[in-house]
Homo-oligomer: A and B are copies of this chain.
């Protein structure tokens, strides 16, 4: 079996069939960084003609050379203009696009929606043609050179209509988002901004603040770090410039959630102070506050959806000890596959001080016992 023979492996989409149903004569993308160029590549792959604009001639030529579309021409009459400019100039560029293309639907891809919407609606003569949107995709690298046609595949793309948005144009933006392979959702701008504050911006701030506490810790102490700390702080490696712009752009919604979090944190700190120096006799209520903080975390965590957008699923874990060398992981998954078990997730634990890996394989609960037995039969060391 070769993966190339397997139709489910993502391939370039069927261009002919998508062109027939795309229904877009021309889409103009303004701003050819990572997101704009990826939109161009995705739409081109779906058979949509794409024109490209960018203040930088170098950037727009690179994006065109990469296949994201052709250079825009003064007589272009796009059906849709996608503004993929930096957040702090998005509203101005949207307004400009509405004026320059009087028939076009104009959307944008900024990660914060309320401020852009307010500025566009206040300034535009014809705001009905504006429909905001936010494709929730990105990567560590930036610029057109990092763009790819599948950047949005399977990712949420939130379409954010305002009160005066024309319903037909909203549907048009939703069709465009769907053509990129994204999972289209619809939200009001305030709801969107509150959502990304809670699920993205506040977790970023928390991870950064926890990681910052490690700066002055002795090296011997940092060496006690385990997988929990690694997970909590992974995104603390994010870019300060980018995140400053995001936090500034969504300041109000982020502040609301962070203020609630700060109040909860204040209660925990006060409860710890109440414990005092005698852990055997904490002040009444201190234990209750601490237990509630952890229990509320349980409840919130349980709401996070699992794989494939389905509700949260609890998987069972099969844990295997293995030497940390080329080939053994392949052998392991060979045996897992031979057992007919689908792997839902994999985690390799990093053990300190020895070249042994601990591989945790998440599978459906019913598959746990059969998989353990099958792997043991193959000679693997499997933990109970």
Contact = CB atoms under 8 A, between A and B. Distances in A.
Nearest to A359: B346
A222 B305 contact: yes
Nearest to A212: B296
A104 interface: no
B356 A8 contact: yes
Interface in A270-322: 272-273, 275-277, 279-280, 282, 286-287, 290-309, 321-322
A208 B380 contact: no
A51 to B, nearest CB: 24
A20 interface: no
Main secondary structure of the interface of A (DSSP, over half): helix
Nearest to A280: B88
Contact of A195 (B10, B11, B220, B248): B220
B154 A248 contact: no
B348 A348 contact: no
A130 to B, nearest CB: 18
A164 interface: no
A18 interface: no
Contacts of A240: 291-292, 294-295, 298
B204 A301 contact: no
B204 A206 contact: no
Nearest to A286: B248
A373 interface: no
Contacts of A102: none
Interface in A101-121: 112, 115
Contacts of A266: 262
A254 B258 CA distance: 20
Given A156-B223, A208-B293, A247-B272, A3 B353 contact: no
> Size class of A's contact patch?
35 or more
A288 to B, nearest CB: 9
B290 A211 contact: no
A208 B381 contact: no
A323 B211 CA distance: 35
A71 interface: no
Contacts of A287: 244, 248
A231 B228 contact: no
B342 A326 contact: yes
A343 interface: yes
Contacts of A257: 213
A321 B10 contact: yes
A279 to B, nearest CB: 5
22 contacts: A2-B378, A3-B378, A8-B355, A153-B351, A198-B217, A199-B217, A199-B222, A203-B210, A212-B293, A212-B296, A233-B297, A236-B300, A236-B301, A237-B298, A237-B301, A240-B291, A244-B287, A248-B282, A251-B275, A308-B354, A330-B337, A345-B348
